Amino acid sequence: MATEIERKFLVQGEAWRVGAKGERYCQGYLSRGERTVRVRVAGIRAYLTIKGASHGIARLEYEYEIPMGDAEEMLSQLCDRPLIDKIRYKIPHQDLLWEVDEFLGENAGLILAEVELTTTDQAVVLPDWVGMEVSGDRRYFNAYLVDHPYGSWS
Active site residues: 29
Which bin fits 19, alpha (ψ -120 to 50), beta or left (φ > 0)?
A: left
Q: Are 40 and 49 in contact (CB under 8 A)?
A: yes
Residues 6+ apart with CB under 8 A from 65: 45, 46, 47
Q: 10 Å Cβ neighbour count for 131? A: 15
Q: Are 113 and 6 in contact (CB under 8 A)?
A: no
Long-range CB pairs of 120-124 (<8 Å, 24+ gap) are 120/5, 120/56, 120/57, 120/58, 122/5, 124/7, 124/94, 124/96
